[in-house]
Amino acid sequence: MEEIDAFARVIGDFGPPENAKSVPPDVIELYKDYLPPSMIRFWETYGWGNYKSGYCRICDPRPFQPLVKSMFTNDPDFDHQDLTVIMFTALCEMDIWSRKGYGIYVNLANSRVNSQSKIVNPSTGKKYNKDFLIGSKIHGRISNGGMQDYYSEAVERLGKLKLDEVFGFVPALQLGGDPFPENLQRFKAMEYLDFLAQIEPLTLIEITDPEPGAPLGRMKDVRRIGSQ
């Protein structure tokens, strides 16, 4: 994969974030040691804001730190002190950056997590630079859209979310709920995300190599996150 200016691609493909809010200088300073320079420059230039009509949200990471700590405390591979939430979606997904140089995807709706695996350029044998990796992660989340259709249907039925709200399944999937759009309800984001994190520990998954019948690979459970 060719290394490009991934954040320039974000702006070129999707424009500046909607409903943007300036990032305070003290927060910029606080996260300079945790995030690649390109993410910091994006914050400085465009601030925190939304994409896809509020589905994807480049966010203030500070409110998420207690949640990140509760999910990853005592894990042998993921130190919560290294982790910063850079984006979350209206359907309880989070993109996290580790200052060790890779991204992490958390889906609290189903208690699954996986880490960015393709961090080495096969044509050079060297690691992709951090600016490229984090920008590609942001671009990938916006372009992928995930459960955008569910989101659009929920907005039509329940109204547009406030910035501090998410949609969640009722009952939660971990409690036997069904993943149908008609089962989505509105919740305060931090309260509901914390609730989901308490129901069940995260399970680390990996994507297997492509095989007949699974050209994109399969999701495979590896282990629970936390103390082993």
Helix, strand, or coil here: 180? coil
Instruction: With a cut of 90, say whether residue 214 has pLDDT above it.
Output: no
pTM: 0.92
Helix, strand, or coil here: 226? coil
Question: CB-based burial of residue 144 (10 Å sphere; 0-12 exposed, 13-18 middle, 19+ buried)?
Answer: exposed
Whole-number pLDDT of residue 145: 67
Whole-number pLDDT of residue 1: 46
Return d(Cα 72, Cα 155) in angstroms, integer.
32
Q: Quick: pLDDT tens for 115-174.
A: 976 667 777 777 788 998 999 999 999 998 668 899 999 999 999 999 899 999 999 999
* 195-214 average pLDDT score: 89
Query: In the predicted model, what is the mean pLDDT of the chain?
Result: 92
Q: Quick: pLDDT tens for 28-57.
A: 999 999 999 999 999 999 999 999 999 999
Q: Quick: pLDDT tens for 1-11.
A: 445 688 999 99
Total domains in the chain come to 1
User: What is the pLDDT confidence band of residue 60, given thresholds at 50, 70 and 90?
Assistant: very high
More confident residue, 25 or 123: 25
Percent share of the chain, pLDDT over 90: 78
- The answer to whether 201 and 214 are in contact (CB under 8 A) is no
Cβ count near 32 (within 10 Å) = 12
User: Quick one: which of 160, 168, 163 has its CA closest to 185?
Assistant: 168
User: Quick one: which of 11, 153, 175 has its CA closest to 91?
Assistant: 153
Tokens of 50: 């939304």
Token look-up 């996986």 returns: 114
Q: Which domain holds residue 211?
A: 1-228
* 61-78 average pLDDT score: 96
